[in-house]
Structure 1
Amino acid sequence: MTAQTLHPAELSLVDIAAWRALCAAEPAYANPLMGPDFALAVGEVRGDTRVTVWRRDGRAVAFLAHHRRPGGLARPVGAPLSDYHGVVAEAGFDGLAAMAEAGLSAYPFTGLIDPAGPLSGAVAGEREAYVIELDGEPAEYLEALRAASPKRFKNYRRLDHKLDREVGELSVRAPDWDEAAFEQLLTWKREQLIRTGAHDFLGPDWTRDLLRNLFARREGEFQGLMINLYAGDRLVAGHFGIRLGGVYHPWIASTDPALAAWSPGQVFLLRAIDAMGPLGLTSYDIGPGHDHYKKPYARTVRRIGQGLAATDSAFGLAAKVAESAWMWAGAGREGFVDKVKRRLDTIAMVETSLAGRVRGLAAAAGALRKSDPESEAA
């Protein structure tokens, strides 16, 4: 077994084909985030993007796309946009031993896809991700949702009719290539992040450049896709993300805040599911988090891993100690400490400059102080 780490642009056509073949052979890897195209796209906007390729007898058997940090720390490629990540490998691949061979000390993960089991021993917990999967017509899927929760979807239909009647005739544009609408979705999302006190992951140039580059793609299996809901000519809500063939994974979910009383996000998803057929989509992967919003629409739930894969190197052991310290600090107040850790991890993943990290930490300090139950009690 040999290991080679290189920038995605340095991958050979043979390696790219081998990576795609591994993804095609395993349904769990059937997501735009897990293949070489996403790594190549991120590599265009971030110089620290790397892919470690492991070969057996000269043949590529595993790939790990990541951002290389000092000490051999590897962070998931494109994080926090990479809701799913991990080693794409043949069955029987020993991930931890291979990491040591490649000089990787630690790999923290929050959305591990690991069907071949190379990092299964490092999983400390799991969470749910939600997928809308069609095995027939969209109308059949929507009918199944209504049958499972008639009161809920009756209310959604009421909101749909109310929005159509009071704001404007509703229509979905899919795909929507309107640049002004795309920029509006990003603006609404950034305003929402500020409003809720979350870290602005769209602040750094590289995230906006990545989204804009993907939006500009019009050809091929891998491209950006925007689906929008309009009331008359007024943009109401929309999703932007990437698709690979029939699989769509949106990142940006935005709604017009002035229309909050009509719950446009709920109305949008009903209409977006109905548009999957004409778009040639069989899977609308809405990912983890925001369970109350996503769960009613998803009949498929995917379990994804959270944890830390670390070797016995000095930096790997230090990462294990730091992870243990977080667990100790969270005893008795897990919710708040987990929130602090997630916020700091997001800053470390998305901010590539010292100035950006300082600003992120300053904003985090203020937001977390407001949400700390002990601060409120004091």
Structure 2
Amino acid sequence: MRVSIVHPRDLGPEDIDLWRELQTASPAFDNPFLSPEFTTTVGALRNDVRVAIMHDGPDTVGFLPFERHPLGIGKPVAAGLTDAQGMVHAKDIDLDPQRLIKDCGLAVFEFDHLVAAQPLLPGRHTRHPSPIIDMRDGHAAYVETIKQTSGKTYRTTAYKHRKLQRDVGETRYDHATTDPAALRTLLGWKTEQYRRTGRTDRFSRPWIVELVERLLAVDTVHFAGVLDMFYVDGRPVAGHFGLRTATTLAGWFPAYDTAFAKYSPGLIQHLAMAEKAAERGIQVIDMGRGEKEYKEKLKNGEYEVAEGRIARPSAGAGVHWMLRVPVRKARGTVLANPALRTTADRALKAFGRIRTSVQS
């Protein structure tokens, strides 16, 4: 197998068409984070993005987008932001993962949301559920399932929606809006959420803000940025920005106005989003790996993603192991234990309150 390495800007129309052909050939790759449009958009903002193109004789059989960092450390494109990572490749491809990362000029390739059916999977890795809203049997069937598995949540959310209308005013839902003011409002809520919960504010990095803005401007049959907003009496109260293929919507940045928290606007928005998305042909909403209460209430299925690394003997791989692997194992232990996870979450929120009071 021959491997060529290019920057995304150097991909030609034929490369994009072949990438998309491989992606649509397998349901495992039906995720917008694996689409060529996502990699090319990130590549326009970051010089460390590369794409490994795999050739078997005259045929192109795979694409691996990645970031190349110092010491030969490789990461998925937009590492830390994406809920689906990995190669898009032909069925039954035969490759040696260590040889591939060597051909990429890497000492190690780490991942935390590697999708299924990947020949990249090393012997040692961990697997994690990624909850989904599965509407392949239709939206009505999904609603019936939720009524059975999360009936109290569904009834309570419907009641709170009616109460919001009685208390404040008429509600409206905009699906796939391109209003830049609505996007700014959503990102503002998300920044407040990050600070409130003690997390790092992703939107403090200008390139991520520009990435979202650029993705919102993309709207094709195969790929688009999707902004949804929920309003009451003309005022935005909840929203979500994600990405879609023709049939899968990837959840990404949900947020709401905390002034309306008692009405559970996030749940109202997600249920409305599922209905509107289904009307436009979306069959699956991938909510992404993570222990979140709203995901447990809304899901009716799940995918599986892997976390781990591929390494070859080198100084860079050794440094990476010392800096990253013990931390990842400790984090995994905390997330796997409900009591530890709750304690850590409370500590982060306490830090967020202190940080917010100091900054104000």
TM-score bracket relative to the smaller structure: 0.7 to 0.9
Match of 1:208 in 2: 209
Change (3 A) 1:156 1:174: same
Deviation at 1:33, TM superposition (A): 0.6
Q: Which amino acid aligns with 2:28?
A: A
Instruction: Choose the corresponding residue for 1:100, options 102, 107, 110.
Output: 102
2:308 is the counterpart of 1:274: no
Q: Which amino acid aligns with 2:95?
A: F
Instruction: Choose the corresponding residue for 1:113, options 115, 128, 136.
Output: 115
Query: 2 CA distance for matches of 1:186 and 1:226?
Result: 11
Match of 1:376 in 2: none
Match of 2:23 in 1: 23
- Report which stretch shifted further, 308-317 or 72-81: 308-317
Q: Secondary structure at the match of 1:135?
A: coil
Q: Which amino acid aligns with 1:241?
A: G
Q: Secondary structure at the match of 1:251?
A: strand
Query: 2 CA distance for matches of 1:15 and 1:83?
Result: 24
Match of 2:68 in 1: 68
Deviation at 1:117, TM superposition (A): 2.6
Match of 1:141 in 2: 142
Change (3 A) 1:137 1:156: same
Query: 2 CA distance for matches of 1:302 and 1:107?
Result: 22
Q: How does 1:245-284 map to 2 (within 5 A)?
A: 245-284=246-285
Paired residue total: 341
Change (3 A) 1:325 1:297: closer
Deviation at 1:159, TM superposition (A): 1.5
Query: 2 CA distance for matches of 1:58 and 1:321?
Result: 41
Q: Secondary structure at the match of 1:238?
A: strand
Q: Which amino acid aligns with 1:144?
A: T
Q: How does 1:150-229 map to 2 (within 5 A)?
A: 150-229=151-230
Q: Secondary structure at the match of 2:19?
A: helix
Query: 2 CA distance for matches of 1:275 and 1:257?
Result: 24
Change (3 A) 1:369 1:320: farther
- Report which stretch shifted further, 9-18 or 46-55: 9-18
Match of 2:343 in 1: none
Q: Secondary structure at the match of 1:121?
A: coil
Q: Which runs of 5+ in 1 are unaligned?
A: 339-365, 372-378
Query: 1 CA distance for matches of 2:350 and 2:294?
Result: 27
Q: Which amino acid aligns with 1:316?
A: A
Report the identity percentage: 29
- Normalising by structure 2, we get a TM-score of 0.87
Deviation at 1:300, TM superposition (A): 1.7
Deviation at 1:206, TM superposition (A): 1.0
Query: Deviations for 1:278-302, whole angstroms, at most 9, x for unmatched residues?
Result: 3222222211114311122121201
Match of 1:335 in 2: 334
Change (3 A) 1:13 1:313: farther
2:17 is the counterpart of 1:44: no
Q: Which amino acid aligns with 1:335?
A: V
Query: Deviations for 1:336-355, whole angstroms, at most 9, x for unmatched residues?
Result: 9x9xxxxxxxxxxxxxxxxx
Query: 2 CA distance for matches of 1:262 and 1:35?
Result: 36
Deviation at 1:154, TM superposition (A): 1.7
2:287 is the counterpart of 1:293: no
Deviation at 1:105, TM superposition (A): 0.9
Q: Secondary structure at the match of 1:287?
A: coil
Preserved CA contact (<8 Å) 1:310 1:319: no
Query: 2 CA distance for matches of 1:306 and 1:51?
Result: 21
- Report which stretch shifted further, 56-65 or 74-83: 56-65
Match of 2:344 in 1: none
Query: 1 CA distance for matches of 2:153 and 2:108?
Result: 44
Query: Deviations for 1:45-99, whole angstroms, at most 9, x for unmatched residues?
Result: 1122111122221422222111111122111101222111012233233222211
Change (3 A) 1:120 1:26: farther
2:49 is the counterpart of 1:54: no
Preserved CA contact (<8 Å) 1:93 1:116: no
Q: Secondary structure at the match of 2:166?
A: helix
Preserved CA contact (<8 Å) 1:74 1:107: yes
- Report which stretch shifted further, 126-135 or 26-35: 126-135
Preserved CA contact (<8 Å) 2:142 2:300: no
Q: Secondary structure at the match of 2:177?
A: coil
Match of 1:359 in 2: none
Query: 2 CA distance for matches of 1:239 and 1:182?
Result: 9
Q: Which amino acid aligns with 2:207?
A: W
